[in-house]
Amino acid sequence: MKFKTEAKFGLNYVLCLVAFLVIARPAGATILYWGNGSTKGGAGTWDTSAAHWSTASGGPFTTVWNNTANAGDTAYFDTAAGTYSVTLGA
């Protein structure tokens, strides 16, 4: 009987570990869409202080790009051609 108790404990341990790893995994990269307020697209300066980004392609474009938090994210320009400037920063 002792063997079955140890086997049951081992299985519970493994199940808890798997559940923890699934819950604690880091969030995946996000696609951020370029816009200007409520308008998709448009010219502008990509920096770390102006809100030109959204997680939805239709906006609202109220997210500021953060080089640390957005390091794995993708910048997406899905509109007509425009003029964009990039300001280097933190």
Q: With a cut of 50, which residues of the chain have pLDDT below it?
A: 1, 3, 5-7, 16-19, 21-22, 24-26
Residue type, 49: S
Handedness of CA 78, 80, 81, 83 (dihedral sign): negative
Q: Are 3 and 25 in contact (CB under 8 A)?
A: no
pLDDT score recorded for residue 14: 54
Q: Are 61 and 34 in contact (CB under 8 A)?
A: yes
